[in-house]
Structure 1
Amino acid sequence: MQVMVELSLYPLVNEYIPPIQTFIDRLNSYSELSVSTSSTSTQVTGEYAEVMKVLGEEMQRTHEEVGQAIFVAKFLNFDAMQARKSS
């Protein structure tokens, strides 16, 4: 099963852009994920278990490096083959 997660990160620090960019850059380093970034959020798509594993690790790393930070996420599960047929 595939999942698409739309994430927004709000680091509670004065210099908030570098932690956001670092998080996005780390997500982009995983070739098994599809990552699309807009001005307000980042969408991560891939196999459900892999996406959840990566997000758990990278969100924890962000909290350890930045301190307090808020993640807002929306999750949508879907079957990639069914989604292609619907288009």
Structure 2
Amino acid sequence: MKVSVEISMYPLKEAYCQPIIDFIDCLEKKPDVSIQRNSMSTHIYGDYRNVMDTLDSEMLNVLEQIPETVFVIKLIGTNREKAVIDACG
């Protein structure tokens, strides 16, 4: 089953930008998922298990380093990657 996830990360600390960049960089190194960045959130596409395993390991890494981090996640059980690309031109 293919899924699409929209995720936003909010480290509750003054220097919040670099942890977000580092998190997205780690996601982009995962070969089994496709990542699209934008200014408000990051989109992750792929097989359900690959996406969820990636999120599980990378969110755990963040929370171990910065426990005061909020993640907001939306998940849909279809691959919306092409739909997002088509809509954005």
By the TM > 0.5 criterion, same fold?
A: yes
1:11 corresponds in structure 2 to 11
User: Is there any run of 5+ residues in structure 2 with no aligned partner, and where?
Assistant: 84-89
| Secondary structure of 2:22's aligned partner | helix
| Structure 1 position 6, deviation (Å) | 0.1
Please, which runs of 5 or more residues in structure 1 have no aligned partner? none
Whole-Å Cα distance in 2 between the matches of residues 41 and 33 of structure 1?
Answer: 16
Percentage identity across aligned positions? 38
Partner of 1:40: 40
Distance 1:79 1:15 in 2: 34
Task: Give 2:22's aligned residue.
Answer: 22
TM-score normalised by length of structure 1: 0.88
Runs of 4+ off more than 3 Å: none
- Total equivalences in the alignment: 81
CA drift of 1:78 comes to 1.6
Counterpart CA distance in 2 for 1:56 and 1:49 is 10
Cα offset for 1:67?
2.3
Residue number in structure 2 paired with 1:49: 49
Measured on the aligned residues, the alpha-carbon RMSD in Å equals 1.5
**Secondary structure of residue in 2 paired with 1:14:** coil
Aligned residue type for 2:49: A
